[in-house]
Amino acid sequence: MAAIDKVTVLGTGVLGSQIAFQAAYFGYDVTAYDISDEIMEQATERFAGLAAVYQADDVVAATPEKARAALARITLTSNLADAVADADLVIEAVPESLEIKRDMYTKLAQLAPAKTIFATNSSTLLPSDLKDFTGRPDRFLALHYANHVWRHNTAEIMGTVDTDPTVYAAVVAFATGSGLVPIELKKEKAGYLLNSLLVPFLTAGAGLLLGGYADAETVDKTWRIATGAPAGPFQIYDVVGLTTAYNIAAAQTDPQSQQWAAYLKENYIDQGKLGVATGEGFYTY
Ligand code: NAD
């Protein structure tokens, strides 16, 4: 299998922009695709913002030259055919909608050359939900980044039963080459490894608060002191953002999730307390 050199990222939103910049920062030729010229202007601003973040963050501590070189390696386009014409790897980070993603893979199947590997960054869909639309199930898998990729640099890699092991290995090598820690899943799992651990943990914290067993500070303090972990569940809720926590809970039908959604809405969302991003959530920042 030839090495991956040319990478195309579909979607320049929250994650797509970070995925593209991270790959460019580590020397890959990157093409970033989005749907309109207006959104590409926003993308230019996002990339400039990331160049500043990479210089300011002590994990990467980029020099101005390295940040400028990364920016110079990114080409923006709103033409999908041009975007994928010579790609070794396409990383799809379009909105989390089965319909939008299936439509995207149906188009890609026609436009991309046979050599191109497709990877989805979907957080909640399994690659099996999409593989039949790719026209190349053997060259398709999930490559899942975490938000703030330069700092939280895991890359969860998850194939389907159809993924060619040499394709999987090439994507593991790409992850390492782009400054990430490859996390290899042996088979498909909704939520990958991280959310399979994190979601039940956060749900348990919510259950303790809703049940009136302890307040948020006490739950967090217990976890920090007894395990040595830096943060308890409510500190993590504030970082993730309470809108995301609310949306996830509101989409569930079980009584605790419904109660949790109502609690978050009444006490936090309706008062503009959305977590770290707004300066207040369970804690004040
Ligand atoms: P986002 O809404 O910020 O960005 C999506 C981008 O895709 C937008 O710029 C949009 O214009 C573009 N796009 C490209 N093709 C499109 C099309 N055909 N139709 C509509 N829009 C199109 O979303 P995001 O948060 O970056 O999430 C993207 C993917 O990454 C999702 O699958 C999500 O599950 C995953 N993800 C997100 C996070 C996160 O913290 N936000 C973390 C890990 C994975």
Tens of pLDDT along 234-247?
999 999 899 989 98
% the chain with pLDDT above 70: 100
Over the stretch 212-267, which tens digit does the pLDDT of each residue have? Answer: 999 999 999 999 999 999 999 999 999 989 998 998 899 899 999 999 999 999 99
Model pTM above 0.85? yes
Amino acid in the structure at residue 245? A
Quote the pLDDT of residue 2: 81
**What is the distance in A from the centroid of ligand 1 to the CA of 125?**
13
CA distance 167 to 258: 42
Region 106-126: mean pLDDT is 97
- CA of 97, closest atom in ligand 1: 32
Domain with CATH 3.40.50.720 in the chain: 6-184
Over the stretch 129-156, which tens digit does the pLDDT of each residue have? Answer: 999 999 999 999 999 999 899 999 999 9
Whether 222 is in the pocket of ligand 1, judged by its Cβ within 6 Å, is no
CB burial of 130-150 (b: ≥16 within 10 Å; e: otherwise) equals: bbebbbbbbbbbbbbbbeebb
- Test site for ligand 1: of 18, 94, 129, 193, most ligand atoms within 8 A of the Cβ: 94
CATH superfamily for 6-184 is NAD(P)-binding Rossmann-like Domain (3.40.50.720)
The pLDDT-based confidence of 36 (bands split at 50, 70, 90) is very high
Domain 199-278 sits in CATH at: 1.10.1040.10
Ligand 1 atom 44: the closest Cα is on which residue?
123
Whether 205 is in the pocket of ligand 1, judged by its Cβ within 6 Å, is no
Q: Copy the structure tokens of residue 179.
A: 């400054």
Does 1 score more than 80 pLDDT? Answer: no
